[in-house]
Amino acid sequence: MNLQKIEFKNKEGHSLVGRLELPVHQHPHNFAIFAHCFTCNKNLAAVRNIGKALTSNGFGVLRFDFTGLGESEGDFGDTNFSGNVEDLIAAATFLKSNYSAPSLLIGHSLGGAAVIYAAARVNSVKAVATIGAPSNPKHVQHLLQSSLQEITQKGKAIVNLSGRDFTIKKQFLDDLEHTALPETVKNLRKPLLIMHSPQDNTVGIKNAEEIYKAAHHPKSFISLDGADHLLMNKKDSIYAGEVISGWAKRYLDIADSAVLPKTKHQVVASLDFEDGFTTEMKVGNHYMTADEPTSYGGNDFGPSPYELVSAGLSACTVMTLQMYAKRKEWHIDNVEVHTTYSKTHALDCEDCESSNAKIDTFQREIKITGDFTDKQLQRLLQIADKCPVHKTFHSQTQVITKLVP
């Protein structure tokens, strides 16, 4: 993934700060904008995870802080729901002027309601996805319940939300009175994906039902069963991002083949330090993600480096056996190769400098089904050791490394 810090001005002239995430090849087939939840920011773990899932599927994703939140300028107390919608339109204008107009809007919670309003005003948007969105922006008032009287009487109040104090002014409540989300949804006439958890205790599942009933087809509902409102479980946010990617591609213009960067090498790996071990890779004409498991401090978004090596050995083995059997005209239905990598103690190792020395071990188990003799089966076992990757492990190899500008 390629990550860029960007800034753009909103309608009021405030500088809004965001992160633009691009696929490793830096040629996204479509751009998406993500709107975070009420009083949240662009760096919420769920927002980052969803963005990574989208970039892994070829999207460019802009996530930014609404006015007065995170790194963006402005006084949060002077903002309101309508202002959030204007911020989204400013973000769309920025993308159109500097990259490419967004075709997908994604919003979480109140941000979900905001992207529906914004999508009605941004012509380039062809699909909209909401996550845990309220069917009426006024739903957010339940978070302010204990301070509503003070806000109404005094014009403002300091409200503690999730351990942080925010100034909420009466103009915020007044602005909500002028929202009519069901009518906006009804008139949207753009593909809509509604994602919601039945266990959401912040914005109940009934809201998803009301949005769905108001929308025209094409519309889809996906249950985020077991997830909380903020998608705190990493698996939930990754799942949401993957589903959005697959769903949106049905409605967006995507070239048959991505524009590939020019390189003389077979593999490119790109890692931004804030992503931990999550590494975007271009392998030949294909794009994939490598990572480490969570037990090693990774995000488990893809196979580990040694799993990729094991995968290469496994793939090479089945291909070699298939080629050999076909040449011999042996009847084989299927070949499975199960491979596990580990470091084991080197027993009776003449070249080992220490009794604690370990050697790299690839445990490979092969299952072959078909119509063949025991003699043919033993021959196939011998051929497995002749696959090119296996031979590479036992040959003299070089890794030549140099810095490039």
* 75, two tokens: 């006084």
Using an 8 Å Cβ cutoff, are 196 and 131 in contact? yes
Q: Residue 347 belongs to what domain range?
A: 305-394
Count up the domains in the chain and report the number. Answer: 2
Both structure tokens of 263: 């390189």
Helix and strand element counts for the chain (H, E): 11, 15
**What is the pLDDT at residue 1?**
62
Q: Is the domain of 60 the same as that of 148?
A: yes
Whether 149 and 58 map to the same domain: the answer is yes
pLDDT score recorded for residue 258: 45
Residue whose structure tokens are 């970039």: 55
CATH number assigned to the domain comprising residue 346: 3.30.300.20
**231 plus 323 within the same structural domain:** no
| Cβ-based neighbours of 41, under 8 Å, separated by 6 or more | 65, 69, 70
The single-letter code of the amino acid at 4 is Q
Q: Are residues 63 and 173 in the same domain?
A: yes
The reply to whether omega before 102 is within 30° of 0 (cis) is no
Within 99-224, residue ranges assigned H as helices are 110-119, 148-154, 170-176, 181-188, 206-214
The answer to the question of residue 404 being in a domain is no
CA dist 105 and 13 (Å) reads 23
Question: Does residue 277 lie within any of the structural domains?
Answer: no
- Low pLDDT (below 70) residues in the chain: 1, 25, 255-263, 345-357
**Strand bridging mode 104-108 / 286-290:** unpaired
Amino acid making up residue 148: L
> Quick one: pLDDT at residue 287?
78
Both 333 and 201 in one domain: the answer is no
Structure tokens at 186: 């009804």
From 233, 249, 265, give the residue that closes a domain.
249
Domain final residue, candidates 249, 273, 290 = 249
Which run of H or of E encompasses 376? Answer: helix 374-384
Model pTM score: 0.74
pLDDT of residue 346: 54
Distance from C-alpha of 10 to C-alpha of 89, rounded to nearest angstrom = 8
Q: Give the Å distances, CA to CA, from 21 to 9, 298, 304, 333, 344.
A: 19, 19, 22, 44, 40
DSSP 8-state symbol, 82: H
- Regarding whether 108 and 238 lie in a shared domain, the answer is yes
User: Are residue 109 and residue 196 in the same domain, yes or no?
Assistant: yes
Residue 272 maps to a domain: no
Question: In terms of C-beta density within 10 A (0-12 exposed, 13-18 middle, 19 or more buried), how is residue 294 classed?
Answer: exposed
pLDDT digits (tens, 9 = 90+) for 121-133: 999 999 999 999 9
* 262 domain-assigned: no
Residues 81 and 9 reside in one and the same domain:
yes
Same domain assignment for residues 328 and 205: no
Residues 200 and 338 in one domain: no
Specify if 279 maps to a domain: no
Predicted pLDDT at 286: 81
8-state DSSP, 78 = G
Q: Kind and range of the H or E element at 30?
A: strand 30-35
Residues 316 and 204 in one domain: no
Residue 26 is predicted with a pLDDT of 72
Q: Are residues 10 and 159 in the same domain?
A: yes
| pLDDT of the residue at 288 | 84
Please give the pLDDT value at position 260. 44
Q: Rounded to the nearest 5 degrees, what angle is found at the Cα of 172, between the Cα atoms of 167 and 174?
A: 145
Last residue of one domain, picked from the residues 205, 226, 249: 249
Any domain includes 258 = no
